[in-house]
């Protein structure tokens, strides 16, 4: 790329591949669309990332770079979630917000991995604006990475997890380069929500990240590895529809838009509640040598890393409220509960215990909270138990002003980023989100990135959890211990005949949901 003449008023920073020119915005220097790897197409498609081509002169970094290929949200979800598309191939890029560009400042750094089920989302989502973090003395970096089949398809002719390898390349870029933007490479906090938190957990357990991460934040997503067969089924179903072999070479020859449409169609009934084939991080013997949660529980990785982890009170409502599925699950009653038992690999004792603890809850709430605990809260609870003294847990409890959402999945983001006044945060929160809650949450994340202490008691045998949004912020001992006690990880699985019966219930539930979505 040829040089553009740099205006003196614009901030300029050096990267390993050339200088970049940002913009001053509200007292903060912002650099957008900086490439950390080459465009992942052509010879690089479905392959691990490689360095970008260096450029001469000063590259303009005033606008967000291209976003990774992704299908749009369905109409039901699009009313709640913003997902901008920036066209172009150079989608392996990142953005930096900093109060003090240039070496010498040594400020704490927060690296953000967005959510979106590894199929949607980008760093250009307005809620993820890093201005407030930089305003408060943190160098904030947000990352784009490959999504869906491009980033997490499992093929016999390419290495697994290219999307996760993108994130590793970005993390290395930050470690090697952030000092030029005023950051301290010894104080990097890796932070993500939902799929971004799952990615954060996988990177925490990766041998290649040792020494790169000082702290980590996992919001509504546990360290986990997806079943390889689950990912293979997604790829094979796509291949069957496209009438091609299930190889990276064959997929690379398919029109990109057709690939996205096929991916969306094959995955339309997959969800945290319903299960089904989906993309995910898989054990690959290299970057992910074993299940990330087990590696972290065994103390094999991320020793000395401080952890901030938590969930929202009503995670499941974002999965079931759009499109009216929550009412449909309530009507299905026993079928929905049987489906949840199959999803969670438990017998009748667990839903029976939930109904005893919450006698006013309907089937949708019971199913939603069971699945949330199984997939998300219990793993984070186990991780805190394995790392007392350096783990901090929270529960976000403020109910949205939008009908039916409650304290749903992703609602906390506008408060963490202190971007709640924007129209995109209002898609989930509605009007009138409390600024004092944003002050409390954003301030806690800033303190954690700077010091490793968000401002409340670390995990110990009293099980302290910071409750945010239900009155004044307060620390509660074991608010979900009774639910967690219902789960017995050592119990034998249901009898094979019972397992088949429950699996049939899941299929009936998916067919019923499909009928609702068609109409």
Asked if residues 239 and 245 have their Cβ atoms less than 8 Å apart, the reply is: yes
**Nearest by Cα to 394 from 316, 479, 305:** 479
Catalytic site residue from 100, 224, 315, 395: 315
Q: Tell me, what DSSP letter sits at residue 61? A: -
Q: What is the separation, in whole angstroms, between the first and last Cα of the chain?
A: 51
Task: Pick the catalytic residue from 194, 271, 391, 400.
Answer: 194
Taken in order 462, 463, 468, 470, the sign of the CA dihedral is: negative
Sign of CA dihedral 427, 428, 431, 435: negative
Whether 194 is catalytic: yes
What does 215-262 look like in DSSP terms, one character per residue?
EEEEES-------HHHHHHHHHHHHHHHTS-SSHHHHHTS-HHHHHHH
Closest CA relative to residue 216, chosen from 191, 197, 195 = 191
Query: Which class for 159: exposed (0-12), middle (13-18), buried (19 or more C-beta within 10 A)?
Result: middle
Q: Say how far apart CA 166 and CA 327 lie, in whole Å.
A: 40
Question: What Å distances lie between residue 47 and 37, 78, 147, 399, CA to CA?
Answer: 12, 31, 13, 42
Query: In the structure encoding, which two tokens stand for residue 248, read together?
Result: 């990276």
Quote the CA–CA distance of 179 and 113 in Å, as a whole number.
20
Handedness of CA 269, 112, 6, 180 (dihedral sign): negative
Q: Which one of the listed residues 409, 412, 442, 483 is annotated catalytic?
A: 409
Contact 248, 441 (CB under 8 A): no
Catalytic status, residue 409: yes
Distance CA 307, CA 325 (A): 34
Output DSSP code: residue 10: S
Residue 436 a catalytic site member = no
For residue 373, give the DSSP letter.
Answer: I
Are the C-beta atoms of residues 277 and 330 closer than 8 Å to each other? no
Residue positions annotated with a catalytic role: 194, 315, 409
């Amino acid at each position: 790329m040829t040089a553009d003449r740099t205006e003196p008023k614009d901030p300029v920073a050096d990267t390993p591949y050339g200088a970049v020119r940002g913009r001053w915005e509200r007292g903060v220097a912002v650099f957008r669309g900086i490439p950390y790897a080459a465009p992942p197409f052509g010879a690089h498609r479905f392959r691990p990332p490689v360095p970008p081509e260096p450029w001469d002169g000063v590259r303009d970094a005033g606008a967000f770079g291209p976003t990774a290929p992704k299908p749009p949200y369905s109409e039901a979800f699009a009313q709640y979630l913003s997902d901008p598309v920036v066209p172009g191939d150079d989608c392996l890029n990142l953005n930096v917000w900093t109060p003090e560009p240039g070496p010498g400042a040594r400020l704490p750094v927060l690296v953000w991995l967005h959510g979106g089920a590894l199929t949607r989302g980008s760093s250009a989502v307005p809620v993820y604006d890093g201005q407030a973090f930089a305003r408060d003395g943190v160098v904030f970096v947000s990352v784009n990475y490959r999504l869906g089949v491009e980033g997490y398809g499992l093929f016999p002719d390419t290495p697994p997890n290219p999307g996760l390898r993108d994130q590793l390349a970005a993390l290395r870029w930050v470690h090697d380069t952030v000092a030029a933007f005023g950051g301290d490479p010894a104080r990097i906090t890796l932070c993500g929500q939902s799929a971004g938190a799952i990615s954060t957990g996988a990177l925490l357990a990766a041998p290649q990240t040792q020494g790169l991460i000082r702290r980590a934040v996992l919001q509504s997503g546990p360290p986990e590895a997806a079943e390889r067969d689950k990912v293979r089924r997604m790829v094979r179903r796509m291949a069957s529809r496209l009438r091609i072999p299930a190889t990276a070479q064959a997929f690379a020859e398919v029109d990109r838009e057709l690939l996205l449409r096929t991916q969306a169609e094959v995955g339309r009934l997959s969800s945290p509640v319903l299960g089904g084939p989906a993309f995910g991080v898989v054990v690959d013997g290299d970057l992910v040598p074993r299940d990330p949660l087990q590696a972290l529980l065994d103390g094999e990785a991320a020793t000395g890393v401080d952890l901030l982890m938590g969930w929202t009170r009503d995670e499941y409502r974002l999965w079931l409220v759009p499109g009216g599925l929550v009412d449909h699950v309530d009507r299905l009653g026993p079928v929905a509960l049987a489906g949840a038992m199959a999803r969670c690999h438990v017998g009748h004792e667990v839903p029976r215990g939930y109904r005893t603890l919450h006698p006013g809850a309907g089937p949708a709430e019971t199913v939603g909270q069971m699945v949330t605990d199984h997939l998300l809260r219990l793993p984070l609870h186990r991780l805190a138990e394995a790392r007392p003294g350096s783990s901090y847990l929270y529960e976000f409890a403020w109910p949205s002003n939008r009908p039916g959402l409650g304290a749903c999945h992703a609602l906390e983001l506008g408060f963490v980023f202190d971007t709640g006044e924007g129209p995109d945060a209002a898609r989930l929160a509605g009007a009138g989100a409390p600024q004092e809650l944003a002050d409390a949450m954003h301030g806690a994340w800033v303190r954690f990135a700077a010091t490793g202490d968000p401002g409340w008691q670390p995990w110990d045998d009293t099980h302290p959890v910071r409750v945010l949004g239900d009155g004044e912020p307060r620390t509660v001992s074991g608010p979900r211990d009774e639910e967690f006690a219902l789960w017995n990880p050592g119990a034998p699985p249901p009898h094979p005949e019972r397992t088949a019966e429950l699996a049939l219930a899941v299929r009936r539930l998916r067919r019923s949901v499909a009928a609702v979505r068609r109409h």
